[in-house]
Amino acid sequence: MKITLSTLNKMKRDGQKIAMLTCYDATFAAIEAAAGVDILLIGDSLGNVVQGHASTLPVTLEDMIYHTAAVARGAGPALVLADMPFGSSQVSPEKTFENAARLMAAGAEMVKIEGGEVMIETVRFLASRGIPVCAHIGLQPQSVNVYGGYKIQGKSEDEAETLRRDALALQEAGAAMVLMELVPAAVAQTVTEALSIPTIGIGAGAGTDGQVLVLHDMLGLCPGKKRFLRNFMTGSSCIQTAIETYVNAVKSGEFPAAEHCF
C-alpha cells in the first residue's frame, strides 16, 4: 500500500511508529522499501556520505534533483521526501516555491526545509500551493557555522519553549510534518504531544512519532561514535537484514533506547 500523508497522520493517531531512512539511489530505494521503510529521505547529507564534503553546505539543488529522481524510480510504496539544500529555501517564498517545484517534478512527494519561526511565511506559501512541507527544527546542519558545531539544541527552558513555539507556528502555517534533530528526549516528547501532525526524531529520544537515521551511519560505514546511533549491521547477515532490523526496532519502540538519548 502506498504511503501518503494520510497514512502518516493515521499512524500518529494510532500510535504506530514511522520509520524513515536516508536514501540516495534507486537500488537502495528498492531495498529500503522492501524492508518496510515508510519514508525515504533524500538528505543533503549526501554531501558528507556520497560526495565527501565536510558539511552539507556545498550540495546544490541540481545534486538534489538528480538523486531525488533516482530514488523515486525505486521507491515503490515508500513516500519520497527531499531536502531543500542550502541556499534554495533561504530566499523569497516565491523563489523557494520554484525550487521546491523542481524537486517535486523530479519525484519528491514532500520537501524538507530547515528553520523555525523565520520560515513560517515560506511554509505557508508552499503548503497553500500544493507542496507538502516537513519542517526541520532543533539542530539545523545548514546553520552549523552559526552554532559553532553540531550541538544539542533546546537544553535550557527558554530554548525548549522556543522549539515548542516554532513547531506549533509551523504546524499552523501548514507544515505536514516536523523533524527534530539533537533535542533532549523530554523536550521532543513535549513538542510531539503538542502537535497534531507527525514528528520524526534523530537524536531526539523515543517520544517522537518516528525516527530517521543516515543510511551510512546505521550500517556502520562512517567512522566516529555518535551517542544517538546504533550500528544495525552488528549481528545482521546482510544489508537487507540490517535495514529490516532497524525498521522493526523503530516500530517496536526498541530504538532509540535510553543510551541513545540526551
Contact 108, 68 (CB under 8 A): yes
pTM of the model: 0.96
Residue ranges at the known binding site = 44-45, 83, 112, 114
pLDDT digits (tens, 9 = 90+) for 117-156: 999 999 999 999 999 999 999 988 886 655 555 668 888 9
Residue ranges at the known binding site for 3-methyl-2-oxobutanoate = 44-45, 83, 112
CA–CA dist 193, 226 (Å, integer): 26
pLDDT digits (tens, 9 = 90+) for 10-58: 999 999 999 999 999 999 999 999 999 999 999 999 999 999 999 999 9
CA 42 to chain centre: 9
User: Which pLDDT score is estimated for 222?
Assistant: 85
Question: Stretch 73-87: mean pLDDT, rounded?
Answer: 98
User: Which pLDDT score is estimated for 144?
Assistant: 64
CATH superfamily of the 5-260 domain? Phosphoenolpyruvate-binding domains (3.20.20.60)
| Residue 56 φ then ψ, to 5° | -85, -10
pLDDT digits (tens, 9 = 90+) for 161-194: 999 999 999 999 999 999 999 999 999 999 999 9
CA–CA dist 230, 222 (Å, integer): 12
**Number of C-beta neighbours around residue 1 at 10 A:** 5
DSSP label of 36: T
Instruction: Give the amino acid at 133.
Output: V
Mention every residue, 6+ apart, whose C-beta is less than 8 A from residue 95.
none
| Catalytic (active site) residue 181 | yes
Mention every residue, 6+ apart, whose C-beta is less than 8 A from residue 246.
19, 21, 35, 213, 218, 232, 255
With H, G, I as helix, E, B as strand and everything else as coil, classify residue 120: helix
What is the percent of the chain with per-residue pLDDT over 90, rounded to a whole number?
89
User: Which pLDDT score is estimated for 148?
Assistant: 58
pLDDT of residue 96 exceeding 70: yes
Helix, strand, coil percentages (3-state) for the chain, rounded to 5, are: 45, 15, 40
CA–CA dist 250, 232 (Å, integer): 12
Selecting among 117, 181, 193, 254, the annotated active-site residue is 181
Average pLDDT, the chain: 95
CA–CA dist 1, 131 (Å, integer): 22
CA 100 to chain centre: 16
CA 46 to chain centre: 13
Q: Using alpha carbons only, give the angle 141, 145, 150 rounded to the nearest 5 degrees.
A: 50
CA–CA dist 201, 186 (Å, integer): 12
- Choose among 123, 23, 127: nearest CA to 82: 23
| Residue 60 φ then ψ, to 5° | -100, 165
CA–CA dist 107, 65 (Å, integer): 9
Question: Stretch 82-99: mean pLDDT, rounded?
Answer: 97
pLDDT of residue 60 exceeding 60: yes
